[in-house]
Every structure is written in structure tokens, then in C-alpha cells.
Amino acid sequence: MAVEEEIRNMDEATASAELKRLAAVLASANRAYHSDDAPEITDAEYDALWRRNKAIEDAFPRLKRPDDSPSDLVGAPVSETFAKVRHSVRMLSLANAFSEEDVRDFDETVRRYLGLGDETPVSYTCEPKIDGLSLSLRYEKGQFVQAATRGDGDTGENVTANAMTIGDIPYVAEGAPDVLEVRGEVYMSHSDFEQLNARAAEEGGRTFANPRNAAAGSLRQLDPEVTKSRPLRFFAYAWGEVTEALATTQFEALQRLSDMGFATNPLTAICNSLEDMLASYAGIEAQRSTLGYDIDGVVYKVDDLGLQRRLGFRTSTPRWAVSHKFPAELAWTRLQAIDIQVGRTGALSPVARLAPVTVGGVVVSNATLHNEDYVSGLDANGNPIRDGKDIRVGDWVQIYRAGDVIPKVADVDLSQRPEDAKRFEFPCVCPECGSEAVREEGDAVRRCTGGIICPAQAVERLKHFVSRAAFDIEGLGAKQIEMFYRDESLEIREPADIFTLATRDAEAASKLQDRDGFGEKSVKNLFQAIDEKRRIPLNRVIFSLGIRHVGESASRLLATHYGTWENFEKQVSAATVGEGQEWEDLVSVDGVGQVMATSLVTAFHQEAERASIDRLVSHLDVQDMVLEVGADSPVAGKTVVFTGTLERMTRAEAKARAEALGAKVSGSVSARTDLVVAGPGAGSKARKAQELGVEVIDESAWMDLIADE
Ligand code: IVH
């Protein structure tokens, strides 16, 4: 019976009961959606219930509930999300150290970079690494004006209203510079977390796996009233944009933030040697269980802010800091199965399916087994690992989890091995498309040779394409891509198809609306989100292509080097592996090695792949790489070569500084070189520059040139 007919045939008592039921169901769905970050029903189901309620009210106007009629609430769950905030200074993450050796390397790298000998003391702060989520707070003339989550580091979410409910965040920062961005960690204490979960369990609500998830779920609430009811806390440990230096050292800057009213961590210490650093680490680790909040390591930061500035940043981490992680959490469980997953580049990866086990507060049921050799008990060089023990289905295995790292199977207990357990036979055909899976000489990985005919590769490429560092299309994540790809009627086979979806198929909207989680409004939002990404920065486009070895940082380097899509495409297409000017130019990009360059050039010469790239780009407006820093410096856009001995800074520092000012640093002199900086002992490069009429200056002239930048 059609709904309309069913409603027409209803008597008043049935209609009244049904309106009551719908009001309760919709209210609960609304609560789950808005307050608990855990939708119970899909947008489409919500829409259908809402329309049913409205139709009954229209048929029986007298029965419309005066106080809690769902039709007086917003029509569908608002798929409004947080507004985006572009960070004026990127929010970076930290490189990790897992051992004393790694910390020593960090200290040595700092010294080497700065050209300091072993004897020159370098001081570091040692701070607990809070296990929460980072937040940037902006103050203008001392007034709190905005809070933003880290997001992808460039753009976060505006959570100002929510941050205002956190007691540790002051509305007024006393004595702050005109503009001050305070950065730190939002977290939840153990006792607050336990109380929150106990209350939720009592009310039959959703509980959180650990304090970090609880903090994240609570901060990212659309209703600030909910955030307010959740006991969040904040520690300040860094800053972004500031119109005036806070201090000359990290330690004093933290002190200054504390004076302005921010909570800073009391365990922060100054260390003057490697021994001090390790002792500080051990001291903080010893207190870990009694702190009352989660920490997952310590962070060492060069204390002198002048040295921090000289050290600068790599693509996504500062050179002046490192996080020294506490040892990974371990647990034992049963290995129930080994599945093979096929990745974007055809790699066959074995995945352990485990009897669920809690490792460091998180339930783990999958772990990586890396590759064929790892399962058989061998490392990349063919040497035994785990004393040569292989891993078999049915084994009692030790799971290892370090922070956000994907859990691994670390060990096997042979005394618990079932008698009938058999060696795992790694497949030689792709389980997804049946193509041969081959392992090339020197490669640890076996790969499916199916290329784009392999559905797993195609879908993984699409997932990569929409991932956060690539196109990052709101409402189109891995789950939705998987669903769209499997539905042949939508014909989403390659990235370009995403951009033609709305126009290519007049039925697309209605086909999507039938899908789990999609209502009329969310489809409209999706099409809009896709349209918004037609204009996209060059580095994201390069990364999105999913070419083997071309990761996020390499894509930035390539984008900076080539500047525009047209130039990048022209040069890479014209390059031949191993020879010619275009090849030399490509491998002269610092950070681009032979392997990556070969992979890139090969992809551009591969007909089908190339055609797919061209189809994609025809729908885009690729933004040229804008020099974010130093765009107005005298060396911006110039190609510079350093040669000979530099006396006032190391080669690494000179290069990083030049790049930070927007210059391109090359290892060889050509007609395209703008400037050669030659120190004592400069030889053939300086001579070649003279022959070519390229300007050659000495180190002090270089220092003068960049002095005020
Ligand atoms: S400094 C430019 N200090 O760890 C580097 N980060 O793994 C700014 N974190 O994204 C970060 N405690 O969310 C810094 N004392 C601390 C920290 C800390 C926790 C977090 C932060 C960062 C992540 C990197």
C-alpha cells in the first residue's frame, strides 16, 4: 500500500500514536546525530520518517504536537559541518624517535646542520607529549577570537564556540602581542573520561574507547552545549602567528604563555646534554601512570628560538624538535586468518585477522604482516627475524602498537602453535582479478600485473585520489568511493568520472539518493563539494595521481620546482629515463631520486595512464604553486647553486634558508641558473657559471642579499 493511501485510511487514534512514535524516533536520531557523533539512521531513512510525519500532520492538522513536532525542527539532520579555517602558519607534526640511538641522531643532526662541534652545548626543553588533539587559538589584541583544529595542517575546522567552553582556555590573554596564535593539546583526564563513559553507559549512550577519542568526539560537536558538558582540558606548548617574539627561548616562551593565563605542563624541563634528555625521559615515563592523563612520549625542542629559526622545517616536521615515544604496547591473541589486500600500485599485502584484543586502550582486530618475507620470518635482506619463526593461521601472536602506527604482529609463541598449522602459501595470482602476481628481483613486494583492469587497484587509486592530502572532497571518503565504484550504474572508474558525475548522468542524483547515508541534501552538498575542488593546488594534483614513490612531500617539491601544471606536464612528458636535459632537470630537484623520477616519467609515457591523467586535468583549474614564504624576497623564484666551502652556515642550512625564501636550489650549473654562491675552493661549477655569464657571488654577499628576510 502506498504511504499516502495508508495515511488516508488511518483513524485518528492510530495517527496520534504514530505521530508520538515518530516524534520519539526522530528526536533520538537527532540526538545521536548532533550530540553523540554517532548517527543511528541514514539521512535517507531520516528523510523518509520526517516526510511520513509531515504527511500525517497534514492529514490530521489537529494532532500536530505543539511542543515537540519534528516538522518544527530542521527538516533533515543538518549536514552542516564546521567552517574551514586556513592556518596562517602551518600546523606541523613531529618526527619520531623510538630509541636512545634515534635521540642521539636527532642531537647530532641538529649540531651538524648548525655546524656546531660536539663541545658546543645545545639546550633542549623536554616536555611530555600529551595524547590528545592539537588546537590553534587565535588572540587579537589579547581577545580570544578563533579556535581551529589541525585538519590537514593547512586548513582546519573552526571550533571557536566549542573551545570557548573549555575552562583552561582564557578569553583574554593578558599582555599578549597584537596577534598571538597559541597552539596546544586538548585532552581529557582519566577520571573525567571514566565518569563520562559511566554516565553514557547508564543512559544507554555511546561510550568512547579511550580519553583521546572522547576528547576528539567532544570537541567536534556541532552543539557547543554538548562540548560544554564534556570536561575538556588544554595544555599550551607552541605558537603559530605572532606579531612580536614571545621570548628568546622555548622555556621562557612557555613561561610567558603561562603568565598570560594558559595552562602549561609543569613537567617541562631544560636539558643540557643527551644524558639529561634521556634522564628526563625516564623521569617522565616513571610518572606516566600517576599523571591522571595520557601521554605517549616526550618532545625535545631546541631551547634557543634563534637556533629554532635557523633550523627551520622539513616538509611536514620541524628540524628543531623530535618526539621520543614510549615503548609500544603489547598484547597476545590468536591469528584467525591471513587475508591478502591489493593496494593502489598492485602490491599484495598480507593482513592478519585477529581475535579482538585490547592493546593500549584500543581494540585491535587487524594487523599488518607487511609482505611475503615477513610472514616467512625474513627481513628485506633475507636475514631471519623473530629467530626465523614464520607466521601461521592459528598461531598465538604478539601484537605491537605504537601510537597511531598500524598494529603489527611482532612475535609468535611456538609452544602454542596448533599441531595442524600449515605454512602460509603466498598467492601468485591476484585474489581480486586473477592476473599473475609477480615479484621482481630486489622487490620485497609481489604485485598484481592487472593494472587498471584490476578492480582493487582501481578502487584504491580512487580512494587515494579523494584522500586528505589529495582532493579531500567533503562527503566523499574511502567508504563512499568503495560504494560508488561497486555500483556499476554510476560508472565511476577513474578520477575524471567524479567530475562528470552530475552532468554525465541526469539520474545520478536520484541514484545516489537511494544509497545508504545519502539524502537529497547530502547529494546536493556532495555535488557542490566536488565542484569546489575543481580549483586545486598543483601539489595536490601531482600527489593525487597516485604514482608509485611520488608521495606528499615529493609532490610539493615537484610543484615548487615546476610551478605550473603546464610546465610540469610538458617537462615530464618530454623527459626520457636516464638522459637528456629534462631528465637532468628532474633529478636535480633535491629529494627526487632516480627511482622516483623513473616512476614518474614511466607513468607519463604509459598511454592508458596518461590518457586518464589528461581526462582528469581537463576538468580542473590547477592553481600554480604560490610561494607561500618569501614570495617578495630578492631570491624568490631564482635558481641558486651553492659551491665551495661555506663558512657561516652549513650547506644544508644554506639550502633550506634559500628555499624558505622561495629560491630553487640546484646541484648543477646550467643556462637556467640565476645565481651561484661560491665559497673558497669552488671549482668547476664557478668556472662554468662564468662561461655561461651567470652571476657569481661570495657567501658574505649572499648573507647581505638575504639579510632582512
Ligand atoms: S610541538 C611544530 N609539543 O604531538 C611542532 N606537540 O606528533 C608543534 N603534541 O601535532 C608540536 N604534546 O598534537 C608539541 N609538548 C608538545 C606536544 C605536542 C603533544 C602533539 C601535537 C602534534 C603531535 C605530533
Convert the pLDDT of each residue in 471-483 to its tens digit.
Answer: 999 989 998 999 8
- Residue 31 is predicted with a pLDDT of 60
pLDDT at 594: 92
Give me the pLDDT at residue 76, please: 31
Angle of helix 594-605 versus helix 580-587 axis, rounded to 10: 130
**Cβ(320) to ligand 1 under 6 A?**
no
Instruction: Please name the residue whose Cα sits nearest to atom 21 of ligand 1.
Output: 134
Give the ligand 1 atom nearest the CA of 265. 15
Q: Are 421 and 395 in contact (CB under 8 A)?
A: yes
Distances (CA, A) of 559 to 274, 537, 545, 564, 627: 38, 9, 13, 7, 10
pLDDT of residue 361: 72
Q: Which residues are catalytically annotated?
A: 129
Atom of ligand 1 nearest to the CA of 318: 2
* CA 200 – ligand 1 centroid, Å: 30
Q: Looking at residue 159, what is its pLDDT?
A: 94
Task: Take atom 3 of ligand 1 and give the residue whose Cα is closest.
Answer: 237
- pLDDT value, residue 78: 31
Which of 182-196, 511-525, 583-597, 677-691 shows the lowest per-residue confidence on average (mean pLDDT)?
511-525
Kindly give the distance from the C-alpha atom of residue 201 to the centroid of ligand 1, in angstroms, as a whole number.
32
**Higher-confidence position of 670 and 402:** 670
CA distance 591 to 553: 9
Question: Is the per-residue pLDDT at 295 higher than 70?
Answer: yes
Which pLDDT does position 80 carry in this prediction? 52
Q: Please tell me the predicted confidence (pLDDT) of residue 45.
A: 64
For 200-222, what is each residue's pLDDT tens digit?
888 877 778 789 989 998 998 88
For the cut 90, the answer to whether the pLDDT of residue 118 exceeds it is no
Pocket lining: 215 vs ligand 1, CB cutoff 6 Å: no
131 CB near ligand 1 (under 6 Å) = no
Are the C-beta atoms of residues 61 and 288 closer than 8 Å to each other?
A: no
Q: What is the pLDDT of residue 457?
A: 94
User: What is the 536 CA–ligand 1 centroid distance (Å)?
Assistant: 28
Q: Whose CA is nearest to atom 18 of ligand 1?
A: 129
Q: Which three cell numbers stand for residue 579?
A: 638522459
Q: How many CA atoms lie within 13 A of 103 on its CB side?
A: 25
Return all residues near 418 (Cβ < 8 A) that are at least 6 apart.
394, 395
Reported as a single tens digit per residue, the pLDDT across 387-435 is: 899 999 999 999 988 766 688 998 999 999 999 999 999 999 999 999 9
Average pLDDT of the chain? 89
Distance 272 CA to ligand 1 centre (A): 21
Q: Which residues contact 210 (CB under 8 A, 6 or more apart)?
A: 193, 294, 361, 362
Closest ligand 1 atom to 129 CA: 12
Selected residue with higher pLDDT from 454 and 380 = 454
In angstroms, rounded to a whole number, what is the distance separating the alpha carbons of residues 679 and 384?
A: 48
Residue 664 pLDDT class (50, 70, 90 cuts): confident
Which residue lies with its CA nearest to atom 14 of ligand 1?
237
| Alpha carbons 364 and 460: distance in angstroms, whole number | 23
How many helices (DSSP H) and strands (DSSP E) are in the chain? 26, 24
Q: What is the pLDDT of residue 67?
A: 63
Q: Check if 129 has its Cβ closer than 6 Å to any atom of ligand 1.
A: yes
**Pairwise pLDDT comparison (627 vs 229), residue with the higher score:** 229
Asked if residue 249 has its Cβ within 6 Å of ligand 1, the reply is: no
Name which of 431, 306, 347, 334 is nearest 392 in CA terms: 334
Helix axis angle for 520-532 and 43-59, nearest 10°, is: 140
Counting ligand 1 atoms within 8 A of each CB, the residue from 92, 94, 149, 300 with the most, and so the one to mutate, is 94
Separation CA 405–CA 408 (nearest Å)? 9
Q: Is 624 left (phi over 0), alpha (psi -120 to 50) or beta?
A: beta
226 CA from centroid of ligand 1 (Å): 26
pLDDT of residue 74: 38
Tell me which residue has its CA closest to atom 16 in ligand 1. Answer: 129
**Dist. CA 90 → ligand 1 center (Å):** 13
130 lines ligand 1 (CB under 6 A): yes
Task: Please name every residue paired with 337 in a beta bridge, in sequence order, or none if there are none.
Answer: 353
Instruction: Please give the average per-residue pLDDT across 143-154, as a whole number.
Output: 93
CA 196/CA 208 separation, integer angstroms: 9
CB 147 within 8 A of CB 136: yes
Contacts of 125 (CB under 8 A, 6+ apart): 250, 251, 254, 268, 269, 270, 271, 300, 301, 303
The residues near 459 (Cβ < 8 Å, ≥ 6 apart) are 481, 482, 485
Ligand 1 centroid – CA 151 distance (Å) = 14
Decide: 185 in ligand 1 pocket, CB within 6 A. Answer: yes
CA 129 to ligand 1 center in whole angstroms: 6
Nearest residue (by CA) to ligand 1, atom 2, is 92
pLDDT tens, position by position, 514-568? 777 778 888 889 999 999 999 999 999 999 999 999 999 899 989 988 999 999 9
Identify the pLDDT of residue 631. 64
Q: What pLDDT does 628 receive? A: 59
Regarding the beta carbon of 212 and ligand 1, being less than 6 Å apart is answered: no
Using the mean position of ligand 1's atoms as its centre, give its distance from the Cα of residue 380 in Å: 32
Tell me the mean pLDDT in the region 570-574.
96
Closest approach atom of ligand 1 to CA 403: 7
Q: Indicate the top mutation candidate among 134, 254, 281, 302 to test ligand 1's pocket, ranked by most ligand atoms within 8 A of CB.
A: 134
Predicted confidence at residue 209, as pLDDT, reads 76
Among 137-141, 277-281, 638-642, 679-683, whose mean pLDDT is lowest?
Answer: 679-683
Tell me which H or E stretch contains 154: none
pLDDT digits (tens, 9 = 90+) for 606-645: 998 899 999 999 999 999 987 655 567 888 888 999 998 8
Task: Please state, for a pLDDT cut of 70, what percent of the chain lies above it.
Answer: 93
The predicted structure's pLDDT at residue 79: 30
Q: Is 181 in the pocket of ligand 1 (CB under 6 A)?
A: no
- Ligand 1 pocket mutation pick from 125, 212, 299, 300 by most atoms within 8 angstroms of CB: 299
**Mean pLDDT score, 37-45:** 57
Among candidates 492, 469, 613, which has minimal Cα distance to 480?
Answer: 492
Write down the pLDDT at residue 672: 86
* Residue 144 pLDDT > 90: yes
What pLDDT shows up at residue 127? 98
Question: Poorest-confidence range of 47-56, 114-123, 186-195, 332-341?
Answer: 47-56
Answer yes or no: is pLDDT of 10 > 90.
no
Going from the Cα of 505 to the center of ligand 1, the distance in angstroms, rounded, reads 46
Residues sharing a CB contact under 8 Å with residue 59, sequence separation 6 or more, in sequence order: 7, 8, 10, 15
> pLDDT tens digits for 47-102?
667 778 878 888 888 887 766 677 655 333 333 578 889 999 999 999 999 999 99
Highest mean pLDDT among 67-76, 275-284, 502-511: 275-284
Q: Is 601 in the pocket of ligand 1 (CB under 6 A)?
A: no
Q: Is 238 in the pocket of ligand 1 (CB under 6 A)?
A: yes
Instruction: Report which of residues 507 and 361 the model is more confident about.
Output: 507
- pLDDT at 253 exceeding the cut of 70: yes
Q: Is the CB of 373 under 6 A from ligand 1?
A: no
Q: Cα angle at 33 between 527 and 467, to 5 degrees?
A: 45
Give the ligand 1 atom nearest the CA of 321.
5
pLDDT top residue among 42 and 520: 520
The pTM for the full model equals 0.66
Ligand 1 center from residue 250 Cα (angstroms): 14
The region of weakest confidence among 70-79, 189-198, 406-415, 583-592 is: 70-79
Checking if the pLDDT of 272 tops 90, the result is: yes
pLDDT, residue 511, reads: 80
43 Cβ below 6 A of ligand 1: no
In this predicted structure, the answer to whether residue 37 has a pLDDT above a threshold of 70 is no
Question: How far is ligand 1, taken at its centre, from the CA of residue 317, in Å?
Answer: 10
Task: Determine the atom of ligand 1 nearest the C-alpha atom of 313.
Answer: 2
Kindly report, residue by residue over 447-456, the tens digit of the pLDDT: 999 887 899 9
Query: 607-617 and 565-574 helices cross at what angle (nearest 10)?
Result: 170
Find the range with the poorest average confidence among 258-267, 317-326, 465-474, 650-659. 650-659
Residue with CA closest to ligand 1 atom 6: 129
Measured distance CA(585)–CA(596) in Å, rounded: 13
Atom of ligand 1 nearest to the CA of 323: 7
Do residues 523 and 513 touch, judged by C-beta distance below 8 A? yes
Q: Is the CB of 314 under 6 A from ligand 1?
A: no
Domains of the chain: 3-72 (1.10.287.610), 84-325 (3.30.470.30), 330-438 (2.40.50.140), 454-533 (1.10.150.20), 537-623 (1.10.150.20), 639-705 (3.40.50.10190)
> Looking at residue 75, what is its pLDDT?
32
Q: Best mutation site among 185, 251, 322 for ligand 1, i.e. most ligand atoms within 8 A of its Cβ?
A: 185
